Chains A and B, each alone.
Chain A
């Protein structure tokens, strides 16, 4: 059974600081997704990582994937209040039979950025 663990689950940080959220998973996969969820809102797709060593950046967020270590990171640079949200990683179960694999989600990291 594929397990996906995020840490930390709660993160309170000051504006301007840097921090990293970690996503570890328990079985082979080279497809990993990061989502953002604001309170009462839907999940918004942030990054799609599809190979070992993949790195994607958007604004103050940068995501990377190390499939050998079964680890993805979401790095926050110079945090601002607008980044306050819950961030989820999701790992795709590799399905070699032709159809897309299901996603297994981590519990989410609730980020609060304070002035």
Chain B
């Protein structure tokens, strides 16, 4: 595997279900991100992790719970979602500052298309 991978690619869930999205990066990066992409809206940053530590929670409802066990893996746990949470969820990674890089070019996974019924 190369780049950033995400599973599953498609997910349909009911409002009472619990599911998890998985992201893995094979780029040796140490910063990872979750974004939400809805129709007619700009990409919305949800969470940021630097060196496994959460450094940003962009006022995301608690029904979304991120987990970053190591610098290569990122999860998004979902529970009691609402229909308006249906969207494409994108994971990205980049090299954090202080590692010889001073800009934030992010590399994206293919996304998980989530539908909440």
Contacts and interface: CB of A to CB of B under 8 A. Distances in A.
Interface magnitude class on chain B: 20 to 34
Contact of A103 (B55, B97, B106): B106
Nearest to A4: B42
B104 A107 contact: no
A107 B41 contact: yes
A14 interface: no
A50 B98 CA distance: 17
Contacts of B42: 4, 104-108
Of A42, A90, A104, most B-chain CB atoms within 10 Å: A42
A33 B55 contact: no
Contacts of B98: 98-99
Please tell me the size bucket of the interface on A: 20 to 34
Nearest to A98: B97
B86 interface: no
B52 to A, nearest CB: 14
A54 to B, nearest CB: 11
B90 A100 contact: no
Interface string B40-74: 11110100101000011000000000000000000
B103 A92 contact: yes
A41 interface: yes
B50 A33 contact: no
B108 A100 contact: no
B56 A88 contact: no
- Most A Cβ at <10 Å: residue of B41, B50, B103, B107: B103
23 contacts: A4-B42, A31-B103, A42-B4, A42-B90, A42-B110, A43-B92, A43-B108, A48-B103, A50-B103, A88-B43, A90-B43, A92-B103, A92-B104, A99-B96, A100-B96, A100-B103, A100-B104, A102-B45, A102-B56, A103-B104, A103-B106, A105-B42, A107-B40
Interface of B: 4, 31, 40-43, 45, 48, 50, 55-56, 90, 92, 94, 96-98, 101, 103-111
